[in-house]
Structure 1
Amino acid sequence: MPSICTSTLPVKMTVVAACLLVMTINSVQLPAMPPPKGGSGDLIGTRAPEWHLDGWLNSRPLKLADLRGKVVLVRWWTAPECPHCVATAPVLNDFQKDYADKGLVIVGVYHHKSSTPLKESEVAAHAQRLGFQFPVAIDRNWTTLKKWWLETGDRPWTSVSFLIDKQGVIRHIHEGGRYESGSGDAKLMEEKVRELLREG
């Protein structure tokens, strides 16, 4: 008659093996789910591509690469039927007045939405009406808007703002609509501008 030790050994070994297997499975860290596509957070920390703009106002033609060492705020806008653009204009003008001499460059990028043909003279008139003293350019066919924003996810707004640091890296995005004077969005944008200006 076999002893208890010899008869139960295989069972004990099976139990131990099963326990070790469970412990191993529990200790394995499964990879985290990737973040859902479409959020602007996917773009934070990435280098902003070069833009393709023309029809410059208030400035010679600029390249993003030429602005290294500056903090750059790029705001897409349109007219005349854009209440969000009208509401945001005073904030941009205040930023220009308060921070241009400290290293901030604002670029207002016009993207045409009207059914009438695009006329540079009308863009200039709209920019003057909004009080823009900073560089303004035209994004024909939305070439840069598509590359920077619309083709990178599900984007409900086109009046987007990108805040780019001195190394050309996207650090903050306002996804569209307005940021009026005194609003939380405007205060956050100003905080980010100050933060990036302080960086070396």
Structure 2
Amino acid sequence: MMKTRTICCLFASLTLAAALCYLPPKTVDAEPFSQSDPTMPSLDGAVAWLNSAPLDAAALKGKVVLVDFWTYDCINCQRSLPYVNQWANKYAKDGLVVIGVHTPEYDHEKVLDNVRQQVKKLGIGYPVAIDNDFRIWQAFDNQAWPAHYFFDATGKRRYSHWGEGRYDEQEQVIQTLLEEARALHPAAPGTVGARHALSSSASNSCRTCASSLWATLKRIESRWAGS
């Protein structure tokens, strides 16, 4: 009887362990895309900036902004950073500004030279705020690494994502916000569209001048012939 009870207990334990091993992964946290949300919190409080002078709302006016909270020893951050870096490179010409906020989890991640080396190693060329005192973290009321906050060209937060995954969805958010920004700010003087318009106008003007000059020459020729 004792032997049978022991076997039953062992079987039950193994069954429970197997069930725990096959629990489905936790769903990644994300906020739904919003048409209107709070404005971007302050970026003040960084002890240093890499790849850029300190940025603020004025410097980011009219830009679509992605703020990425990360720290270099976080494995989840290491897996998400290639996507963030790709977006920064792919959409910079369209008006996307990516800002990395490096908020350390461990003491060695507070050392500026360590962060600088990792930024270079990872090929990060976008601005990175060194948030050793957690001031930007607290301003955003952030709770996780990595965390992505998306802001439109008016400075409103439109989408937030915590953890890994949903990279296609996040890229779609970037594309949507960039489309909205283009609608808000049509081609201004000096842009490709404006240069094309000015070039067309100049060409039409030249054709008009040439036509007028030719008519004048014909009149002169007629007068000489009549005389």
TM-score (norm 1): 0.69
Secondary structure at the aligned position of 2:85 is classed as helix
Question: Given the alignment of the two structures, is residue 109 of structure 1 paired with residue 104 of structure 2, yes or no?
Answer: no
Displacement of 1:115 in angstroms is 3.1
Structure 1's 72 and 54: CA in aligned 2 closer, same or farther, altered over 3 A? farther
Task: Give structure 1 stretches of 5+ with no counterpart.
Answer: 1-38, 180-184
Give deviations 1:153-198, integer Å, cap 9, x for gaps: xx4x242110001111000101x2223xxxxx11111101010001
Displacement of 1:104 in angstroms is 0.1
Displacement of 1:132 in angstroms is 0.7
1:1-150 matches, cutoff 5 A: 40=31, 45-52=37-44, 53-80=46-73, 82-116=74-108, 118-150=110-142
Of 166, 173, 189, which aligns to 2:153? Answer: 166
Residue 19 (structure 2) aligns with:
none
Structure with larger Rg: 2
Distance 1:48 1:117 in 2: 26
Distance 1:143 1:104 in 2: 24
Residue 3 (structure 2) aligns with:
none
Matched residues, number: 150
Secondary structure at the aligned position of 1:196 is classed as helix
Structure 1: 4+ residue segments shifted above 6 A: none
Residue 21 (structure 1) aligns with:
none
Give deviations 1:107-129, integer Å, cap 9, x for gaps: 01100111337211111111112
Task: Give structure 2 stretches of 5+ with no counterpart.
Answer: 1-29, 185-227
Give deviations 1:37-87, integer Å, cap 9, x for gaps: xx856x96111222122411111221133201000000001022x111111
| RMSD across aligned positions (CA) | 2.1
Which amino acid letter does the alignment assign opposite residue 188 of structure 1?
E
Secondary structure at the aligned position of 2:134 is classed as helix
Displacement of 1:105 in angstroms is 0.2
Secondary structure at the aligned position of 1:69 is classed as coil
As a proportion of its length, which structure holds more helix? Answer: 2
Residue 192 (structure 1) aligns with:
173
Secondary structure at the aligned position of 1:46 is classed as coil
TM-score (norm 2): 0.61
Distance 1:168 1:106 in 2: 14
Is the CA contact 1:86–1:130 (under 8 Å) kept in the aligned structure 2? no
Secondary structure at the aligned position of 1:66 is classed as coil
Is the CA contact 2:42–2:139 (under 8 Å) kept in the aligned structure 1? no
Displacement of 1:103 in angstroms is 0.0
